Amino acid sequence: MTFPMTTRRALLGAAALPLATGLAAPRARAAGKPIRIGVLNDMSGPYRDTTGAMSVACTRLAVAEFAASKGLTVEVLSADHQNKPDVGAGIARQWFDRDGVDMIMDVPTSSVALAVNSVCREKNKVFINSGAATTGLTGKQCSPNTIHYTYDTWMLARSTGGNTVKAGGDTWFFITADYVFGHELEEITARFVTDAKGKVLGHSVYPFPGTTDFSSFLLAAQAAGAKVLGLANAGTDTVNCVKQAHEFGLAPAMRVAALLMTIPDVHALGLATARGLLLTESFYWNLNDRTRAFTARAKPLLGGRMANMIQAGCYAGTLHYLKAVADMGVDAARADGAAVVARMKAMPTDDDVFGPGKIRADGQLLVPSYLFEVKTPEQSKGDWDYYNLLATTEPGEAWQPMDPGCPLVKA
Amino acid sequence: MFTIFGIPGPLLFGQLLLGLINGAFYAMLSLGLAVIFGLLNIINFAHGALFMMGAFVAWMLLNYAGIGYWWALLLAPLIVGAFGLVLERTLISRLYKLDHLYGLLLTFGLALVIEGLFRNEYGSSGMPYQIPSALQGATNLGFMFLPNYRGWVVVAALVVCIATWLLIEKTKLGAMLRAATENAPLVQAFGVNVPRMVTLTYAGGVALAALAGVLAAPIYSVNPNMGSSFINTVFAVVVIGGMGSIIGSVITGFGLGVIEGLTKVFYPEASATVVFVVMAIVLLTRPAGLFGKAA
């Protein structure tokens, strides 16, 4: 009687794959030797608003600003991986084998990112990840062809978990999505909480996907009497949790820490509901003069919305990649992806999104992370004026120490 | 504090009540499905998408026309019901002579198209919709804080379910509807416009879905996928209750809400599957469902 979601998505998938790659093919044969960047992310599913077309727009902005001034010809392609590893890896292969793509950008959803990671390594191309949360990209599965921008689970846990305990939120209750990402996020955050002399009073693990009502878990959290409710989930689940936490009047006795939430989610909730939420991003449009300058330039491309850290990270990653390509020459860059990544690691990064930074041997970009509190409607002075900055974690502290399991670390 | 199976009593009562509230949504959605299946023999897979449209129309009324929640409760079902009317007249009515499967395929395709269009226009992360000011806050019941809005949802759902049941089982119009499903040519021979009645029935079922959508808007994320996360469970409810049985869908809706709520206390990991376990057991022992008539 019931159609599982997978069937529905598979139907879509069968249609989208030839479409996504087929469109790019004629251009590939017609042009000379341009650099081709493929933005691969979720164009139709749950992460469409946090990555999607705005990631493509930010990538294009970097190309428009940098490529012309250096005489580079750069083309940007995009495709929808539908959050399926097989679809993502398939598109990556076709892009490399048939369409002459040199670099893949973004790739949210950890399972897809890890699949694309190995394809890029096999084909010796460049993979700059901005969208996925897994620390695996810089851990055991780290690759000489991959750079991880923007954020990961460790960085979110460190900033939100560690700083919140310091500010007095020392007892926690977790609501956790029952899959690898949820468990990993809860586990790492709990470690920061206990390290900072805080206590975890309990957790509720709920089935993912398929849960829309979280009131039972909110009630359990209330009964436990924790000061902080940690939401180890993402997307619509987080939005539903926050909406219902507001309804059940958890605040002000309990603060809600959304362990992975970015500005489009806050926009979806509205300030009246999201007020007081704690969350971490490595970019906020109104953070400083440079982020405001970036936003002013990006605005015409973004259709009245604001970029989150992931989308802005696509700008920063593309810019740094193009700098390395310009430095090496197009032919050398196209011939050897690992050499481009090595050059990117050798050059310090500097852009309006993250400010100055550098890329570590394991491929992790080191920039500060910021703990924000969502403003109340009264505090907000205009559209998208959503965050108060609570704490900054410096690059040296913000990221997981290099994992000895990564072969690049020993080298 | 007393405990039941190691769970504090107040927590258990709280979860039972929450289960009842979720059951109210299941009941309202499966009610519409049961009405449509019972009278049209169409398995309406677009029901989740129409539920979502109800919530979105409420959001649109507020943001484009400044019309608040209470009017939306009336207007959104009318607007979405009118949309259902057009669907039935232009597409669904052509399938009555064919196998069930064609209706299922058509409505499933419609659901994908409707959800895709909304996703394209409004994105996937959702829209904010506030609880109306009269229903904000919570009441202390002693064993839990019940948000006033949830209380309202249960009351509203019960009223709607009972009214629909009365309409179909106890009025002359309902009698004609039931007669038309048994033997349409005969009823038509008595001078009743059967095709029009069928169209209005579909629109009515759709309006019920939209009403549930408006009720859901303040507590669930208003996004294009909100219907698909409900619809699987709701179909299970309809199957357990007995395809086309109105009273069955209502009782099963509330009952499964409670079972799901209890599962969330004792073993939350299984709360999404328990409904289907019940469905399997029921189908093995009573293939026509709890309240269905054997074919």
Tens of pLDDT, residue by residue over A211-259, are 888 988 998 898 888 999 999 998 888 998 999 998 888 877 899 999 9
Q: Is A185 found in the same domain as A89?
A: no
What per-residue string of b and e applies to B216-241 under the rule 16 or more CB within 10 Å gives b?
A: bbbbbbbbbbbbbbbbbbbbbbbbbb
pLDDT of residue B139: 84
For residue B295, what pLDDT band results from cuts at 50, 70 and 90? Answer: low
Beta bridge partners of A280: A371
Q: What letter represents residue A313's amino acid? A: G
Whether A332 is in a domain gets the answer yes
For residue B29, what pLDDT band results from cuts at 50, 70 and 90? Answer: very high
Q: Is A263 found in the same domain as A294?
A: no
Residues 6+ apart with CB under 8 A from B180: B39, B187, B188, B192, B194, B197, B198
Whether A408 is in a domain gets the answer no
Tell me the average pLDDT across B256-261.
91
**How would you write the pLDDT of chain A (411 residues) with one tens digit per residue?**
333 444 444 444 444 444 444 444 444 443 447 999 999 999 988 888 899 999 999 999 999 999 988 889 999 999 999 889 999 999 999 999 999 999 999 999 899 999 999 999 999 999 999 999 999 999 999 999 999 999 999 999 999 999 999 989 999 999 999 888 899 999 999 999 999 999 999 999 998 877 888 988 998 898 888 999 999 998 888 998 999 998 888 877 899 999 999 999 999 899 999 999 999 999 999 999 999 999 999 999 998 899 999 999 999 999 999 999 999 999 999 999 999 999 999 999 999 999 999 999 999 999 999 999 999 999 999 999 999 999 999 999 999 999 999 999 975
Question: Which of the residues B124, B127, B239 would you substitute to probe the A interface, choosing the one with the greatest number of A C-beta atoms within 10 Å?
Answer: B124
Contacting residues of A for B236, CB less than 8 Å apart = 1-2
pLDDT of residue B157: 92
Q: Is A142 found in the same domain as A68?
A: yes
Q: Is A187 found in the same domain as A107?
A: no
Q: How far is B87 from chain A (nearest CA, A)?
A: 22
φ/ψ bin of A246: left (φ > 0), alpha (ψ from -120 to 50), beta (otherwise): alpha
Whether A406 is in a domain gets the answer no
- A294: domain CATH number? 3.40.50.2300
Beta-carbon-side half-sphere exposure of residue B283 (alpha carbons within 13 Å)? 12
Q: Is A386 found in the same domain as A322?
A: no
pLDDT of residue B142: 75
pLDDT in tens, A26-37: 444 434 479 999
Asked if B26 contacts B209 with a C-beta cutoff of 8 angstroms, the reply is no
Q: Is A295 found in the same domain as A185?
A: no
Q: Is A302 found in the same domain as A271?
A: no
Question: Which of the residues B221, B234, B249, B278 would you substitute to probe the A interface, choosing the one with the greatest number of A C-beta atoms within 10 Å?
Answer: B221
Q: Is A189 found in the same domain as A147?
A: no
Domains of chain B, first to last? 11-285 (1.10.3470)
Q: Do A236 and B225 touch (CB under 8 A)?
A: yes
Q: Is A382 found in the same domain as A311?
A: no
pLDDT of residue A10: 43
Distance between CA atoms of B222 and A261, rounded to whole angstroms?
Answer: 17
Beta bridge partners of A258: A231
pLDDT in tens, B156-192: 999 999 999 899 889 998 888 888 877 888 888 988 8
A45, A47, A219 ranked by CB distance to B11: nearest = A219
Beta bridge partners of A228: A172, A255
pLDDT(B211) > 90 = yes
This model of the complex carries an ipTM of: 0.80
Q: Is A131 found in the same domain as A14?
A: yes
pLDDT of residue A378: 96
Q: Do A272 and B128 touch (CB under 8 A)?
A: yes
Q: Is A86 found in the same domain as A28?
A: yes
Q: Do B125 and A220 touch (CB under 8 A)?
A: no
Per the structure, the complete domain to which residue A306 belongs is given by: 5-151+290-367
pLDDT of residue B42: 87
pLDDT of residue A11: 42
Torsion A130-A133-A137-A139 (CA) sign: positive
